[in-house]
Every structure is written in structure tokens, then in C-alpha cells.
Amino acid sequence: MCQHVSSFVRAGAQSAFDSLLPPRCPVCDAVTARDEGICPACWTAMPFIEQPWCARLGTPFSHDLGEGALSARAIADPPVYDRARAAALYQGTARDLVLSLKFGARRDVAGVMGQLMARNGRELLEPGSVLVPVPLHRFRLWQRRFNQAALLADAVSRASGVAMDPLALERIRRTRQQVGLSAKERQINVRRAFRVTDAGQGRLHGRNVILVDDVLTTGSTLAACTRVLRAAGVARVDVLTFAIADPVTNDL
């Protein structure tokens, strides 16, 4: 009998066995009792962004400058999108979490990342708005098998009740990875890379869109998406990411 046990049954037994193992922290791999998997030490070390922050860029202020205050950077070089918000700075534990999601080791972390994004993005998450993840080109989607921005948008949608539309925007040109490129090179790299789909045109016209991605670095990808959304008649484009690269110390 034993040698005739089907692979189907063996696969079932394996997954049942996996569910009995204690969860491991996606950042440091320590065994943890928490369901969402992030151990208390890594949670404490997370570089969360807390208010007060710049009303435009969502970057933290060291002291309170009052409601609606703008950072010097937002005044000198305002982004094309309206407002950006993020849960954490892209360093340490937050960076490890982003990489853990992106490279597929731990897709389950999207849930807790989305909850943290919904918390810091609550000013953007109004009823009637639409969450739109930054799309991958279909070839890269085929290679990676999932889009981390779509996983995060889905998690934010579940945490906030705001609808998500993953098919409204598409990437029509394969682009080089942005890592290692200068700000100017990034802009050129993503130019004409996106388009609003025919179905998206009807669904997004006149709506407020919240673009979702894992990390905001120079913002060139999000700016390229913003331009095509505006051209399609979207009323307002805000940006919600899990992490934001520290504009002073990070030059990714």
C-alpha cells in the first residue's frame, strides 16, 4: 500500500506537516509565536514613520510645524502626484521586509504590510477612491509569478474597505530595473512605459486614485503612472507605499 500512496496524498501530508511548524520571522528567521510572523525584536527595530509629516511627501518632521506644513523639499521640487504616504523608512527591518516580499520568500507578509500602509495612508483612503497597484510588465510577471504591488494593494483594500482595480493600468514597455540608475536615467527608463487600459478609462474617469507600490525612491515610476492617469481624466492621484527611501541618506 505504502509505495502506492499517490503524490496527491503525499503533498497533502506535507502541507499539513508544514502547518504544524512554528511560524518564523520573515526578517531574521527566528521562531516567533506571532501569526503575522514578525518577531518582537524586529518589530521594535522597524523604522516606522510617525506624525508629524510633510503634508505633500509624507516624510517625517523632527518637530511639529502645524497642520498642512510642507517640507523644504516639497516646496523646492514638488512631485507630480498630489500626496504620498508610507509606513516606514526604507532601511533596516523595513528594507528586509520589502525584499522578503519581493523575492517571494514570504508572500504572507503582505497582510501586515498592508495594515501598516492603511494606518499611515488613512488621509488618502476615502470612500469612493480606487487603489491601483503599479503594474509589472507581463514578461516580468511571468518570471516572478506575482506582483508585489498588487499583493500590497489587495491587503490595503482589505484593511481599509477601499476598492482595488489591478487591471486599470498596464506596463506596455519592458524597462530596466531602476536600481543603480540616476534620477534622470530613471525618468527616461520609464517614459511611455505605462498606459491606462480601455476598461480602466471608463472605470477611473473622475475618480481619486491611490497608486500603490512597495517602495518610493526617486518617484519616477510613480510620476510616469500619474501622468497617464491624469491624461485619462483621473481627478486626483495620491501615492501609498510601504516604505520611502530617506531622501537625505538613501540614494538608491
Residues making contact with Zn ion (CB under 5 A): 25, 27-28, 30, 39, 42
Q: Is 142 in a helix, a strand, or coil?
A: helix
Neighbours of 119 (CB within 10 A): 15
Pick 38 or 215: Cβ nearer Zn ion: 38
Pick 30 or 199: Cβ nearer Zn ion: 30
Neighbours of 53 (CB within 10 A): 20
CB of 27 to Zn ion, least distance (A): 4
CB of 242 to Zn ion, least distance (A): 17
CB of 220 to Zn ion, least distance (A): 32
Neighbours of 166 (CB within 10 A): 18
Distance between CA atoms of residues 196 and 35, nearest Å? 37
Contact 223, 79 (CB under 8 A): yes
Pick 39 or 229: Cβ nearer Zn ion: 39
CB of 245 to Zn ion, least distance (A): 22
Pick 27 or 57: Cβ nearer Zn ion: 27
Pick 25 or 215: Cβ nearer Zn ion: 25
CB of 24 to Zn ion, least distance (A): 8
Distance between CA atoms of residues 228 and 236, nearest Å? 12
